[in-house]
A = this chain, B = another copy of it.
Amino acid sequence: MTAPMSPEIVSRFAALVAPRDLLDAEESAPLLVEPRGLYHGRAGLVIRPRSTEEVAAIVRLAAETGTPVVPQGGNTGLVGGQTPDGSGSALVLSTSRLNRIREVDADENLMIVEAGVTLAAAQDAARNADRLFPLSLGSEGSCTVGGNIATNAGGVGVLAYGAMRDLVLGVEAVLPDGRIWSGLRRLRKDNTGYDLKHLFIGSEGTLGIVTAAVLKLFPAPREVATAFVGLASPDAALALFRLVRARAGSALTGCELIPRIGIDLTLKHLAGARDPLGEAHPWYVLIELSSPLQTGLATTLETELGEAFESGVIRDAAIAASVEQTEAFWRIRMGMSETQGREGGSIKHDVSVPLRRVPAFIAEATEAVERFEPGARVVAFGHLGDGNIHFNVSQPPGADKTAYLGRWSAMNEVVHAIVAAHGGSIAAEHGVGRLKRGLLSGVKSEVELDLMLTVKRAIDPAGLFNPGVLFEETPP
């Protein structure tokens, strides 16, 4: 652990921005705790630059003084990647004031936004230009585009539109030596050398800091049809997914799996929530069809669900009859993390497996976890169509939260072994951060880890960017 930042260095950093862009201890406090309280850090200074040039000046000084830099967006990350360590040596660089939408070009289907723009604000900017920016996730009101890029965020739109990596045409970034790389490409095709933006996307702040990006836009949906479907099992859910995909093709833009316990927790903790179907069912799927064309999707969905009911694939379904009902359906899904959080400690697994393995994975992991921790309640939900399951486990009712969370790593081992047996990933969309850095050596070859380290050392030779994230030991 390094020494806390000296007062002299603090004042040199402070001199680089206006006083209102420095946070005092009270303002800083919430930025130094990870949302679930898993990580508590300290910082020499929390600073909020207003321009790329200010970021560059700050990073140049960090390079000169050997100060670790922890970039932070909306502080919604779930793996501790935005939290400094406890030494107080680091500078937390908040992007919250890099919040301009620089340009929306509806004709070319792109927009240029700064890193600190919230995902919701980016979606709004697209919507105002009659376009869609399709990334969508539970924390979209506070997470930022920069954080979405740093973590290659996923969410509910990946099935049809891809993850953040697929939605970025170009980036502007400040490199660890303080130079600005202006890579704000607007072209769909450009094969002039290495596609360096992909290094920064998903690098979790370890190779520099993205300050702005060119994002792809899509035609706004003209028709949306949404249904909440009750069914017996993940097997039935997978059968439904395949059936709808075969019929609706690219119009299938959402397919989320929710277990009954997810509905129970919603009814218990979310004010005004109603059971979406008349009776309770073991599992649910939230299905969305949407299209920029007018093709009668509601009828399509009704026909498909009718056939699925006739053939016994599903037990019941409700098609949203209004915007309000559509929103109520999505609120259940988007509130899953939050409502679960109110139920005490939750040990999380953000995993993906090949699609056909999803039912077996859920069954085996549930059995193993219930054996490992009797009384614990599995809440397995997520992006069925991507094979990405948030296999979260709530503490037994009445158990001690701290003691339960102390079993985090041990339970992870149980679940991740089953993920590995199915050829899956232990970090499907939330990234590695501090939480999973110790697990990488178990899932990646030595060659790949070495290649990652080679890249890290080449671009950040002093190891100043987000030390302790992604890599177990700070290079070099």
> Does A277 sit at the interface, judged by CB under 8 A?
no
1/0 per residue, CB under 8 A from B, across A430-469: the answer is 1110001000100111011001101101110000000000
| Of the residues B192, B195, B198, contact of A425 by C-beta under 8 Å | B192
> Does A262 sit at the interface, judged by CB under 8 A?
no
A175 and B108 contact, CB distance less than 8 A: no
Contacts of A459 in B (CB 8 A): 451, 454-455
B352 and A188 contact, CB distance less than 8 A: yes
B190 and A445 contact, CB distance less than 8 A: no
Count of identical protomers in the assembly: 2
Contacts of A388 in B (CB 8 A): 188-189
Contacts of A163 in B (CB 8 A): 189
> Does A424 sit at the interface, judged by CB under 8 A?
yes
The 7 A-B pairs of least Cβ separation, nearest first, read: A198-B198, A458-B458, A190-B425, A189-B428, A189-B352, A192-B427, A250-B250
Contacts A/B (CB < 8 Å), 23 sampled:
A108-B354, A108-B356, A151-B191, A152-B191, A154-B191, A158-B188, A166-B166, A181-B447, A182-B448, A186-B354, A187-B353, A189-B388, A190-B352, A190-B425, A192-B426, A192-B436, A193-B432, A193-B470, A194-B203, A250-B250, A295-B295, A454-B459, A455-B458
B455 and A194 contact, CB distance less than 8 A: yes
Contacts of A387 in B (CB 8 A): 187-189
- How many of A's residues come within 8 Å of B, CB to CB? 75
> Does A202 sit at the interface, judged by CB under 8 A?
yes
A191 and B356 contact, CB distance less than 8 A: no
| Of the residues B158, B165, B246, B355, contact of A195 by C-beta under 8 Å | B165
Contacts of A454 in B (CB 8 A): 458-459
1/0 per residue, CB under 8 A from B, across A366-405: the answer is 0000000000000000010011100000000000000000
> Does A429 sit at the interface, judged by CB under 8 A?
yes
1/0 per residue, CB under 8 A from B, across A227-262: the answer is 000000000000000000011111000000000000
| Of the residues B180, B194, B424, B430, contact of A199 by C-beta under 8 Å | B194
- In whole Å, how far is A80's beta carbon from the nearest beta carbon of chain B? 14
A183 to B425, CA, bound (A): 13
Chain A residues at the B interface, C-beta cutoff of 8 Å: 107-108, 151-152, 154, 158, 163, 165-166, 175, 179-183, 186-196, 198-199, 201-203, 219, 246-250, 291-293, 295, 352-356, 383, 386-388, 423-432, 436, 440, 443-445, 447-448, 451-452, 454-455, 457-459, 470
B195 and A202 contact, CB distance less than 8 A: yes
| Of the residues B192, B201, B247, B356, contact of A444 by C-beta under 8 Å | B192
| Of the residues B166, B192, B355, B470, contact of A432 by C-beta under 8 Å | B192
Contacts of A448 in B (CB 8 A): 181-183, 193, 196
A68 to B436, CA, bound (A): 39
